[in-house]
Chains A and B, each alone.
Chain A
Amino acid sequence: MTTVLTELELDALTEMVNIGVNRAAASLREMVGEQVLLSVPKVTLVSRDQAIATLGENEITNLVGVHQVFEGEITGRALLIFPDTKSLELVRAVTGGELPLEEIIELEHEALAEIGNIILNGCLATIANMLQRNLKMSLPEILRGEPSVFFNLKPPPDAGDVVMFLYINFAIRQRDIRGYIAMLMDIPSLAALQVLLGEFIERTAGGMAPSNDRS
């Protein structure tokens, strides 16, 4: 892998994603009518195989994911992934937890699609906005399967790709639900992202350079 984001760049990205999910959390809060906290501890860049291995931890084999495609200066796929049990819990948490299981299973598809849409849009739109670039995002699509399913979607990228991988923690109605956000980008997109991040850091740090220097 030739392109690797610097620590600073990763920090910037993490901050942007956190702003995005916080925005999503605000949307969810409007819907649920209760406090919703979303947090993303750390963004990491990993290979596809590492991503698959990470998802396969804890012997979790069945996963549910919301998939959206984004296009613009950076292009790729955004995925919000849960163990299938957690996804139900998430839906129950969002819908209020009083519906019978069967009903939740029925609603899961649509509800998860919308929830995923809110969160992924929150992240992507925030990133695009902060990078001052346009990103077109597709409608959400639900995927199910074992970890490899999510990282072998067709068509395969022309050049090698990288996974920007991050954990996301939901705290809704006394429930803690952990999921994953993954963004698959090809190398040119990653390079473009790095450029954009550099510009963003430049802009942001402009007024903060002295403190940066001092540190």
Chain B
Amino acid sequence: MTAPEQKRDDAVFDAVDIGLILLDADRRVVRWNVWMEAASGISSAAAGGRRLDELFPDHGSPRLTTAISHALELGASGLVTHSLHSSIFPLRTHAGRKLLHNISIRPLGSRPNLGCLLQIVDVTVVAGRERILRERQNARYDAVVGGAPDAILTLDSAGVIQLVNPAAAREFGYASDELIGQSMDFLLEDADEWNKAFKGILDGVPISRPIELTARRRNGAPSYLEASASRWASEGRTFVTAILRDVNERRMAVDALRLLNQTLERRVAQSTADRNRMWTLSTDVMMVAGLDGTISSVNPAWTHLLGWQEPELLGANVLEFVVAEERALLRSELEALSRGTAPKRIELNMRTRKGASRRIEWSAVAADNLLQAVGRDVTAEREAEDALRKAEETLRHSQKMEAIGQLTGGIAHDFNNLLTAIIGSMEVLKRRIHAGRYEDVQRFMDGAIASANRAAGLTHRLLAFARRQPLDPKAVDVNQLIRGMDELLGRTLGEKIRLVIDLAPELGAALTDASQLENAILNLAINARDAMPYGGTLTIATTNEVVKAKERFGQEEIDAGDYTVICVGDTGVGMSPATLAKVFEPFFTTKPIGQGTGLGLAMIYGFAKQSRGHVRVDSIEGQGTTFRLYLPRFQGSVEAMSSVPARDAATGSGEAVLVVEDDSAVRLIISDVLRELGYASIEAGDGQTALPVLTSNTPIDLLITDVGLPGLNGRQLAEIARQHRPKLKILFVTGYAEHATGQTPFLAPGMEMVTKPFTIDALALKIREMLRK
């Protein structure tokens, strides 16, 4: 080699952009190029003749030493890379940064002049670029894979795990480096499905939907995973990345749901069995039918109760099993149900197979076009109810008969007394007249008339009790009425009873029926007398009382208002509270049978109520009893009480009176009275007979007619009469005021009424009043 050539080679040696170190066989530096001077900071002169481990005492590597040895001893070329050796020499770039490098070691020359050439290649830029790329990739990777909640495994094409994310380590309980290098068989209970899918993925068949895998964790616990996977390639190498989603929670939920479903089935089966038992065991008949009544299902009670067998019932119409008379009822109920009407209970007589019937109470609902009905056998119940009703009726009847017996007994007793007096008097009169002894006649006649009047009063009271006696309420001066009864009372009470009369001087008039009031007072006085068998004091007093607000007294109420009060008190035996409670009950009496009707106080009660008044009773056993009779105050000016006129004080002047009465005795008396009073009378036995007279031109001033006539009755006759003679005055006579209670509407103006029995004076007065108006 010439000198210029040598020089040129040296220049090339220094000009190359790699580091060059030439070592001799003793491994000492022979050449050290400019690149090495710049990178190591060691000049060529300083490096010359020295070994590398002297130049870089803390660096180098056994690998480099070995490679140099191989080169020098064996002629082998070696490579030492930064990838496996982080830094071999402490080299810097011109900018002072760490210089990454690879070194190749080559033998140079031949033995014995063997040398070794080290070529140092700067890979800083390449490694740096790779590092940046890698970091960027790693950042993305970490963001996506590192933070993913799902386990992400990357496997190579042999199925060996190459990469795992932190979630995978958590999922399986192994550290990352324990997982890497394993195959999936290591993790899965049964890897068949995975291996099949893996093979498919490698062949480019994507997983269409996640596959379910069961993994075995490090602690042995199973874990349910859902895997999706796809392949990717890098430098001709194929990888498969699998995403394993932990579906344990979902799986547990599914398991729980499945369990729930299973138990639901069991529960449903259980309750179905329960219902079936009820259906089978029920003594009530049960049925499912169409809304037209076609039976689709029945329970065994049909057979037990009615005798029908299931095959006879199924498909038949329930109407056929109802007695004919009640089919219409059922049909209309079925129609109502199919219209959606709320179901109601109906009772039907159902036919039994043996031709009898049983009463069934049905309750039904319609749903889903089906009728579901349950029927209870109420036959025995209804029979018991009927029996009870009959027993009650019998009881009531016997009570009624007993009451009638009591009543008739009492009435008969009173009437017999009166009739005895009347008949006795009349017989005495008859004998006296026959004998021509007239001196005492008047006394016996008065006695007979008094007894007859009392008999009339008795019937009057009975009717009042039955509230069929029209009252004739008028303003009554009660004080005057009581004073007029003084003598009667004295006679009634006898000598052992002292009578005290204490009348309020300014007593207001009462609105009531005077004769009823008189009866009531007399009745109370007699009761008081009977309560004082050994004598005592009877006090009759009157007061004005004001009831300020509606008051209650026991069961009774009294309206607010002004009242005139009559008190009848005795000093007798008094009454126990039990007796007191029943004192106004009809037929209640403390007297022996036959001695009282038991109606006295009841009649007083009825009279007080009818007068819009009230009766109160206070009694203390052993001290006496006080009755207070409240009668409403008459509101308005009190007419002067007309004194009873004398019988001969008014006579007629030949006015014509038509008398229609079917009872000839009564007709005779009325006609006789009319003639005595100076009227002309025309008589008729019934309506038919009276009609021609009424329709004729015969002048008639007054029509007196019985109400209860055979054929055409009194009211009809009066109507016809009024058509012909609109202003004709009409006086009705009635023994039974059923149709004429109180101010009955049929009494038009110009019509009046008298009730039988009547006194001749009362009749005469009424006739005179009417004809005078």
Interface residues of A (CB under 8 A from B): 27, 30-31, 62, 68, 72, 83-86, 88-89, 92, 94-95, 97-98, 100-107, 110-111, 113-115, 117-118, 121, 124-125, 128-129, 134-140, 144-145, 175
Contacts and interface: CB of A to CB of B under 8 A. Distances in A.
Contacts of A113: 79, 81
A145 B77 CA distance: 25
Contacts of A139: 77-79, 104, 106
A109 to B, nearest CB: 8
B163 A140 contact: no
A92 B180 contact: yes
Interface of B is mostly: mixed
A121 B238 CA distance: 30
Interface stretch (B42-50, B68-76, B205-213, B250-258): B68-76
Which of B82, B130, B141, B156 is most buried by chain A, counting CB atoms within 10 A of its CB?
B156
B512 interface: no
Contacts of A137: 74-77
A25 to B, nearest CB: 12
A2 B130 CA distance: 51
Given A85-B156, A88-B162, A144-B236, A134 B78 contact: no
Nearest to B176: A98
B502 to A, nearest CB: 131
A102 B63 contact: no
B177 interface: yes
A137 B235 CA distance: 27
Contacts of B158: 83, 85-86
B77 A138 contact: yes
Contacts of B81: 110-111, 113-114
Nearest to A26: B66
Contacts of A104: 162
B137 interface: yes
> Which 7 pairs from chain A and chain B are nearest by CB?
A125-B74, A85-B156, A101-B163, A110-B83, A110-B81, A85-B158, A137-B76
Given A97-B177, A105-B235, A110-B82, A85 B77 contact: no
A121 B134 contact: no
A68 B238 CA distance: 26
Given A27-B66, A111-B81, A114-B84, A100 B163 contact: yes
Contacts of A27: 62-63, 66
A175 B180 CA distance: 11
A95 B70 CA distance: 23
A140 B79 contact: yes
Contacts of A100: 138, 141, 163
A164 B180 CA distance: 34
Given A85-B160, A102-B134, A62 B75 contact: no
A70 to B, nearest CB: 8
Given A135-B76, A175-B181, A121 B84 contact: no
B338 interface: no
Contact of A102 (B79, B102, B138, B236): B138
A204 to B, nearest CB: 19
A18 B84 CA distance: 24
B76 A31 contact: no
B107 interface: yes
Nearest to A87: B237
10 contacts: A27-B62, A30-B62, A30-B66, A31-B84, A62-B236, A97-B181, A101-B163, A101-B239, A111-B81, A139-B106
B647 to A, nearest CB: 149
A117 B162 contact: no
A134 B111 contact: yes
Contacts of A175: 181
B442 to A, nearest CB: 156
Interface in B90-147: 102, 104, 106-107, 110-111, 130, 134, 137-138, 141
A27 to B, nearest CB: 5
Contacts of A128: 74-76
Nearest to B130: A106
Nearest to B110: A134
A106 B66 CA distance: 26
Nearest to A30: B62
B296 interface: no
A89 B158 CA distance: 11
A98 B181 contact: no
B698 interface: no
Given A62-B237, A136-B76, 6 more contacts: A30-B61, A92-B180, A102-B134, A105-B235, A128-B75, A144-B235
A98 B134 CA distance: 15
Nearest to B74: A125
Contacts of A144: 235-236
